[in-house]
Structures are given as structure tokens and as C-alpha cells.
Amino acid sequence: MSTTDQPTVLHVGGSAPYDVVVGHGVAQRLVDLLGTRPTRVALVVAEALVELAGPVREALAGAYRLTEVVVPDGEAAKTPAVAARCWDALGEAGFTRSDAVVTFGGGATTDLGGFVAASWLRGVPVVHVPTTLLAMVDAAVGGKTGVNTDAGKNLVGAFHEPAGVLCDLSLLAGLPRRDLVAGMGEVVKCGFIADERILELVETQDVEAVLDTDGPVLRELVERAVAVKIDVVVGDLKEAGGSELTGAHPGREALNYGHTMGHAIERAEHYGMRHGDGVAIGCCYVAEVARLAGVLDEATAARHRAAFARVGLPTGYDGADFEELLAGMKLDKKTRGDQLRLVVLDAVGRPRILAGPAEEHLRAADALMRAHA
């Protein structure tokens, strides 16, 4: 991991390779990632970030015909209606297959803009400039795009890898601390599924150093979390993995660790809960399910609560009742037929699929989740 002021370039291989650039003040690399092929570029920007997007806007306007599409903040952007409005803007501007989309915002903007790029003319290039920690380590990398419906989160979408990602850590300086903390939910998750060094940094470094957007600790955490996602995605771009065989790596489904319950909680809260908070609670919940099922040891289950709590994340929830949450979990994309499938751990760095968990274990873990709320 980088220890200098120079940007770190993490390469994503595969059939459509691209680079993830991590550093401070890297917006100037945007035109390099887009190249000379596009004539028009659409900047999809979250409403609250229009002013912050100034440097990106200037860089794009100097090289391309720029169309700016302002979208709602947060999950309110991830609707079919907003996507349709973006398509209309591309149509009015005469966008062709050689033109491109740039997203500027958090994970919701990235998901929406990526889906718009994936679906316009069956796919145009997109470069993501994530502005939150959560988006940098999760939504911007890996090519998953989508919008929400009344039935659930991210149920409509497409796999569409970006042409590049710019993780400009300078953009995190103005992020509210609560949002920065929420982003740590995905970072710590990556520690549990693949890179124990992430957990060691969170557990041993001063919390203020961990959350210092100008410091080396947070930069290393971002780089490590991005590297985890790259390693998993390159091996299983379209989530074709997920064997139930004991000891088999679940492929890209490993990245959904904690998300089955996390998404159910977010849905129950009408997406008013931060995604990273839901993931943290979900990871603690599924660790208890695995412990009750005899898959995970008690110390590692307890380590989940300690690690997430140390950076200020919630580890419990007592809102919606168990039946509502169970119904939400069954909407998870990993479910096959009526059988619930959970990503669990045998140990740190050893994810696997637990198919058809016992309802008594699900209920017992639910009771523990409520006790820690």
C-alpha cells in the first residue's frame, strides 16, 4: 500500500480492464481515463454536490461537450423515474455509443449513473468519481449498477464495469463524520472476508487516525478495501460463484457478507438508514447465526461487535419485527427458490455459503441483535 503523496493505481483485470486511482487531488486524471473517443460527456451529479463538482465540471467542459444532469441526493436518486429523466437528457443531447457518462456523488449516484450508462444504447462508457468513503470502497468498483423498486433494493440493474474510478480522498474532507463512519461498515466487512490487516488497523490505531481523511491510516484502509473488492470481482464478475460445498469460496457473493439482513433492515426503514450501518448490523447478525450453527467460533463472532463498534457503527437493531425482516431477507438476490442462503465465515478470511439456515438460529440471532441495539 502507498505511503507517499503519489496516487496509487490499482488495476482491475479481466475482459474490460480499468484502473482505480486513489490519492489526493486526482481529479485531473479524469480526462486521461475518458480518453479522446467521446465527443459528449454527461455529468450525473447529486444535487447537494453541484458546487463541489466544480473542478470536475471544468475539466470535462474543456475537453468535451458537457451535459449536466442533477439528480436527487441519496437513495431518492435510485428510482426508475430518475433513470428515465437521465435517459431523456442523453437523448436530447444526441448521445451516441462513443460518448460517456461521469458520475459524481455517493453510492446511490454511482449506482444510478452506472445503470443509465449500462442501459443507454445497451452500454456506453462510465467513469465514477465517488465522493463518499462508502462509494469509494463499494459502489464505484466492480460494475454493479441498479435502482430500487417497492419490492426491494437493487433488484433492477445490470453489470457494467466502469472505464475508470477516481477515488479522490480530498473529497472526504467535507463529509459529515456520521457518513464517514458509515462508510467504515464496508471497509471492516472487507477485513472479515479477506484482509485481516484491515481489522488490525481498526483495532490498534487511534480512532481519530482511522477517520483522518488526510492521514495514512484511512488511505491504507481504502486501498486495502478496494484491493479486496478487485480480487473478488475479477474472479467472478457476474456473481456466478456461490457453491454450497463446505469450504468453497462463494465468489462475488462474499462481498454480500452482512447484506442479507442489512438490506432487510434498510427496506424496513424505507431506506432511511445508512447502508454502512445496515451492513455493520448485518455482519454482526450473520456472525451469530454462524456461531449458533456451529460454523464460527464465539471469539470471532464477538470480534465483529467490537470492531464495528470501535469506529462508531451500530451492532444491533430493534425496529421491525422478526417476521418482517425474514420476509425481507428472502428477497435477497442469493435466495434460490424458497431457500435462504447466507454468506457466513468459517474464520476470518474464509467466507462460505450457508444454505437453508435453521429458523431457530435465525430467531436466536435476532434476539441477540435486539439485545445489542
Q: Show binding-site residues for Zn(2+).
A: 186, 259, 275
d(CA 103, CA 117): 10
Catalytic residue, from 29, 57, 144, 291: name it.
144
Binding-site residues: 73-78, 107-111, 131-132, 144, 153, 186, 259, 275
122 catalytically annotated: yes
128 catalytically annotated: no
303 catalytically annotated: no
189 catalytically annotated: no
37 catalytically annotated: no
Residue found under cell 479477506: 194
Catalytic residue, from 224, 259, 304, 352: name it.
259
Residue 171 backbone dihedrals phi, psi, to 5 degrees:
-70, -15
**Residue 176: Cβ-neighbour burial (10 angstroms; 0-12, 13-18, 19+):** exposed
65-71 β-sheet, strand order: 8-12, 18-23, 164-168, 126-130, 100-105, 40-46, 65-71
Binding-site residues for NAD(+): 73-78, 107-111, 131-132, 144, 153
d(CA 86, CA 91): 9
Catalytic residue, from 249, 252, 274, 341: name it.
252
253 catalytically annotated: no
Catalytic residue, from 57, 128, 189, 229: name it.
229
229 catalytically annotated: yes
11 catalytically annotated: no
Residue found under cell 484502473: 19
144 catalytically annotated: yes
Q: Which amino acid is at 367?
A: A
97 catalytically annotated: no
Known catalytic residues are 122, 144, 186, 229, 239, 252, 256, 259, 263, 275
